[in-house]
Amino acid sequence: MTLIDLANPSRFLALASRILPWLVAATAIVLAIGLYQSATAPDDYQQGATVKIMFIHVPNAWLSMFVWSIMSVAALGTLVWRHPLADVAQKTAAPIGAAFTFLALVTGSLWGRPMWGTYWEWDARLTSVLILFLMYLGLMALWRAVDDPSRAARAAAVLTLVGAINIPIIKFSVDWWNTLHQGESVFRMGGPTLDRAFLIPLLVMAVGFTLLFLTLHIAAMRNEILRRRVRTLQMLQAGRPQDRA
């Protein structure tokens, strides 16, 4: 099966129904291992047990950017190739990405209070992630505001691509500006600065949350395709002669 075959919604539904049970199982297993490792990880010599918040904060923060990146690729699919599943992928990723971004903000805030002495600071990293969260909400509102799905898809695709400018700003904000938020400690030149006792649970949790996103996204795409079938059948029903009388 080639990628172009998946452009057919019926083939996508068939594939989704086959792989979703495996994805659910893999997500549950990896997250269970990650949670166990997080619970049994040692305390940090400076942060104490609050380092455990890192194991959920960082995967959510990473996914907040990853989901927008996926949506940007889907936006190109909508605008350039008019791929039948591209706007389905984009539309269904937005609420999931908004949830992960919300969790990154909440867990970061709860981590910041004991470590920095404040829940919130208007520094570059925190502010740019808040803007990302607002952009997710704006995109969801746009989908709801435009009745015609194809017009909504194009408008949302343009907004998504414009909003993609924020992703490198978030990523490099800790390098470009003097921020309260700590610098990059995992994906950096010269390797991670984290000790293996923290790095391994963090990476397992990151894989677990990424699997969770893939599972939720494929399930939500399946739902959206069914919703569009409902809409098509409702239009057919409305057009039937016996229903017009």
Partner 1 sequence: MTPLGPYASFIVTSYAAVAIVVAALIAWVMTDYRRQKKRLRDLEAAGTTRRSGRSATDLS
Per CB under 8 A, residues contacting partner 1 are 13-14, 16-17, 39-43, 48-50, 52-53, 56-57, 60, 95-96, 99, 102-103, 106-107, 110-111, 113-114, 212, 216, 219-220, 222-223, 226-227, 229-230, 232-234, 236-237, 240
Query: Smallest distance, Å, CB 157 to partner 1?
Result: 23
Provide the CA 117 distance to its chain's centre, in angstroms: 29
Contact partners, residue 33, CB within 8 Å, separation at least 6: 204, 208
Return the number of the residue (100 or 128) whose C-beta is nearest partner 1. 100
Query: Smallest distance, Å, CB 165 to partner 1?
Result: 27
Return the number of the residue (87 or 224) whose C-beta is nearest partner 1. 224
Query: Smallest distance, Å, CB 166 to partner 1?
Result: 22
Residue 57's nearest CA partner among 120, 107, 110 is 107
45: region left, alpha or beta (phi > 0 left; psi from -120 to 50 alpha): alpha
Return the number of the residue (240 or 244) whose C-beta is nearest partner 1. 240
Return the number of the residue (43 or 184) whose C-beta is nearest partner 1. 43
Contact partners, residue 184, CB within 8 Å, separation at least 6: 174, 175
Cα separation, 61 vs 49, in Å, equals: 20
Query: Smallest distance, Å, CB 38 to partner 1?
Result: 9
Return the number of the residue (188 or 231) whose C-beta is nearest partner 1. 231
How many angstroms separate the Cα of 95 from the Cα of each of 53, 68, 116, 127, 197?
Answer: 23, 11, 30, 20, 33
Contact partners, residue 193, CB within 8 Å, separation at least 6: 185
Query: Smallest distance, Å, CB 227 to partner 1?
Result: 5
